[in-house]
Amino acid sequence: MIKKRLSAVVNVLDGLVVQSLGFNSYLPIGDPQYVLLNLDRWHVDEIILQSISRSRKALGPDFDLLNSISDLQLSTPLIYGGGIRSPIDADSVISLGADRIIVGNLLYSDPYQLSSIVKHVGKQAVIGSVPFSSIIPFIPINYVSKRSYPNFNFLSELLDLGLLSELLLIDYNAEGYSANWNDLFSPMFPSFSVPLILFGGLTSPPDISRLLSLDIVSAVAIGNMLSYKEHAYQNLKRSIESPSLRPSFYSSVL
Amino acid sequence: MRFCRRCLYPESHPLGLTFNNDGICSGCLVHDEKYTLDWNERLDKLKKIVIPYKSATGNNYDCIIPVSGNVESFFVVHVVKNILKLNPLLVSYNRLYNTSIGIRNFSLLKTIFDCDSLSLNVNPQTVRKITRFTLEKFGNINWHILAGSSVFPVQTSVRLGIPLIIWGAHQGVEQVGMYSHLNEIEMTRRYRRNHDLFGYEADDLLSIFNNLTDSDIWQYRYPTDSQLHSIGVRGIYLSNYIPWDPKSQNEFVISTYGCKGATQKRTFDTYEHSDCFNYLNLHDQFKLFKHGYSRVTDHAVREIRHKRLSRHQAHSLVVHHELQSPENLSMFKSWLNLSDSGLRFILESMQNPLYFNTSDPLDDNFRTCRDIDKSTHNDISFDSTFLPFDSFHRKNYITIGKGWP
C-alpha cells in the first residue's frame, strides 16, 4: 500500500520564511536553509516550499532561493511553488533540486501553458494549487487577482486532460488559523478526479486522521505550527495515529 | 531603509521584521497583545502546564532554570519558586567576561532562593581559540556565551532526566513579533542555530582553516533528537504566560532581593548586562557596525512599546548613546592577545556599507535610525527613569568568583 503523506509547508516571502495568516499578514520565522535543514532532520514526508507573492509581483520563480538551498543536500522530497509561468521556468526549478512543482496562478491566467509544462517535466511532477473560500462554501479564489469563481468547473478541462497529478486545496480563510474540514464530506463539495493534498488550518489530529482515511486524499499539509515546538512534526504524526502514514522518526545523528 | 512608524526598528532587523499596511512592524503588533490578552487566564494555564513535571517523590528537581549574574535571572527564579512552587535546579554557563557585580548577583541568587546549582566552566584557552575564530569569521565575541548558555541546560536536562526547562523571555517574540503569545512558542534547536548562533552550531566551527578540533567544541554540542525525545525535553518561556516588562520586573527584584545593576555609557538602561564587561561595550559596537543599530535601540523600542517613552524621546536617547566609545577594550585585547590594529581591522571589516558611508568606524556620519521620518514623532512626555547604579569598579575579568557579599 502506498503510504499517505504529512507534508510540511514552508512559506517564503522576500527571502524570509514567514508564518502566513490568511494570505494577508505575515510574521517572520527565519532563514530558509535552517528551516529546511531542520525539517530534513525531522524526516518529514515531503517539503512544500512556497515562494509567495512571486506571481502577484510578476517575478517568476525565486531562483536565488533555490540556489541557496541546492547545496544543502536534503534527502527529503522537495516540491516548489511560486511564479512558475512557462516550461523553461519549470525545467529550471527542477534542475535546481525540486522534485515536483506547484502551479497556481497559471491555472487561471494561462492554462494552456500547463500542457507545455507537463510535456517538459511530466505529469507526475506537476501539482495544481487552488485556494478556496470556506466562508462562502467552496468558492475557488485566485489569490493574485483576488477574483473568486462560482465553482470549480474551470478546473474540469485541465483535470479531464490528465494534466495534473494532484491538486493542492487551500482553505484561504483558515490558512494560519484553525479550520473545520469536516465539510469536505458535504455533498456541495465537488468530487475531483485526482488525489487531493489538503492545506489550511489543519491542526487537530482526529480531523487529520479522518481526512487521511478518505481515498481521495493523498496528503495533508501543515504549516505554521511546525515552528512552534521542538519535534512538532513527529509529535503530531504520533498523535494522528494513522496506519496510512510513515512512522515518526527521531534522529540519533548529532 | 524602511523603519516602523511606531518604534525605531529597521526592516533589516537580523531576526526578520514584517510590516502591516499601516507601516507598523510585527514586533509592535504582537506587543499589543499584552494589552488585550487575559493574563490571569494565561498564568493559570502555566500553572497547569507545570503540574505533571513536579517530582512526586521529591527526590529530583522539578525543572531547570538557566541563570546568570544578570538581574533578569532573579525574576525568573522568583516566579518559578514563589508563584509556580517548583523546586528548580539552577544551571549557568561561565561567561568569563564576568564583572564583580555579576559574581555578586549570581552568589546572591543562589543563596537567597536557596537553590541547588550547576555550572559549566569551559577552560579559558579553549574559549579563547573559539572566540578568535568567531571574532574573525562573523565579528562576534559572544558566540561561546550564546552557545554555552543555551546548550548546557539542555544537556543537563538529558543527563539528569529533568525534562522541563523554564526560560524568561523569547527574544524573537519580544523584539520582532516572530510569534503570537498564543502560539506558546517553545525552545527549538532550529531557532537556536538560526538566530542565537548565526547559523553556526558547534560542529560548524570546525574547518581546515582554523586550529579548532573536536576537543574544543564538543562541550557545545546539542543533544540528538532521540536523546531529547527519550527524556521529553521541553523548554517553555514565561513571557508567553506573564506580560513581560523587563523594566518593571527588574525594579521589583532589585528592591525585593537587593541585586544590582550598573551604569554603562552605551545605553540608558542600568539593569541589564551588569554581569558582563563586554556585552554593552565591544559586543555592542560590533552589533552597531553589522546591523546598523545597537542595544540602546532595543531598550528604546521596548520603552516605546510599553508607553513609557515617546518616539521622539527614544530617538534622542538612541542618538546620544549609540556612538559612545565602548569601554574595557584593553581588557579584552589583553585577554585575547589581540593588538590595537588587529581589533581595528576586524571592526572595520565588519562595517556594513548599508549603514556606513565612511571608512572611520567612529565617524558621526553614520546612518541608523537617526534618519527616520521624524514626522511620526509625537511630543507627549513619558517617564522612563532607571535606578542609578555605579559603573564597573574592578577592571578585570573574574574567571571564577566566590561568595557574597
Query: Which amino acid appears at position A173 of this protein?
Result: N
Nearest CA-CA partner of B395 in B325, B343, B339, B327: B327
- Residues of A with Cβ-Cβ distance to B224 under 8 angstroms: 250-254
Contacts of A234 in chain B (CB under 8 A): 225, 229
In chain A, residues with a C-beta closer than 8 Å to the C-beta of B30 are 27
pLDDT tens per residue across span B18-36: 999 999 999 999 999 999 9
- With a CB cutoff of 8 Å and minimum separation 6, the contacts of B335 are B128, B397
Which residue on chain A is closest to B20 by alpha carbon?
Answer: A25
Amino acid identity at B197: L
Distance (Å, whole) CA A206 – CA A189: 21
Greater model confidence, B104 or B384:
B104
Question: Are A110 and A89 contacting, i.e. CB atoms less than 8 angstroms apart?
Answer: no
Report yes or no: B206 at the A interface, CB cutoff 8 Å. Answer: no
Best to test chain A binding among B190, B200, B204, B206 (most A CBs inside 10 Å): B190
Span of A83-97, A145-159, A205-219, A236-250 with lowest mean pLDDT: A145-159
- Cα–Cα distance between B365 and B371 in angstroms, integer? 11
Q: Shortest CA distance to A23 belongs to which of A171, A127, A137? A: A171
| Inter-residue contact A205 to A166 (CB < 8 Å) | no
Mean pLDDT calculated for residue range B208-234 = 95
Give the residue from A79, A83, A18 showing the smallest Cα distance to A48.
A79
Taking the Cβ of residue B186 and every Cβ of chain A, the question of whether any pair is shorter than 8 Å is answered with: yes
Residue where the block lists cell 532595543:
B298
- Among A11-15, A24-28, A142-146, B87-91, the minimum mean pLDDT is found in A142-146
CB contact under 8 A, B176 and A28: yes
Nearest Cα of chain A lies from the Cα of B379 at a distance, in angstroms, of 30
Q: b/e per residue, B236-266, with b = 16+ CB within 10 A?
A: bbbbbbbbbbbbebbbebbeebebbbbbbeb
Contact B185 A13 (CB under 8 A): no
Report the distance separating Cα B306 and Cα B322, nearest Å.
Answer: 21
| CA quadruple A137, A143, A148, A149: dihedral, nearest 10 | -90
pLDDT tens string B46-87 = 999 999 999 988 889 999 999 999 999 999 999 999 999 999
- pLDDT greater at residue A161 or residue A32: A32
| Cβ-proximal residues to B288 (8 Å cutoff; 6+ apart), any chain | B294, B322, B368
Which chain A residue's Cα is nearest to B222?
A: A254
**Mean pLDDT over the full length of chain B:** 90
Contact list, B180 vs chain A (CB under 8 Å): 27
Identify the closest residue of chain B to A15 by CA–CA distance.
Answer: B16
Q: Which of A1-5, A193-197, B210-214, B284-288 has the lowest mean pLDDT?
A: A1-5
Judged by a CB distance cut-off of 8 A, whether residue B222 touches chain A is: yes
Whether B75 has its CB under 8 Å from any CB of chain A: the answer is: no
Residue B148 contacts A where some CB pair is shorter than 8 Å: no
Minimal CA separation from B183 to chain A, in Å: 7
Q: What's the ipTM?
A: 0.92
pTM of the model: 0.93
B293 within 8 A of B287, measured Cβ to Cβ? yes
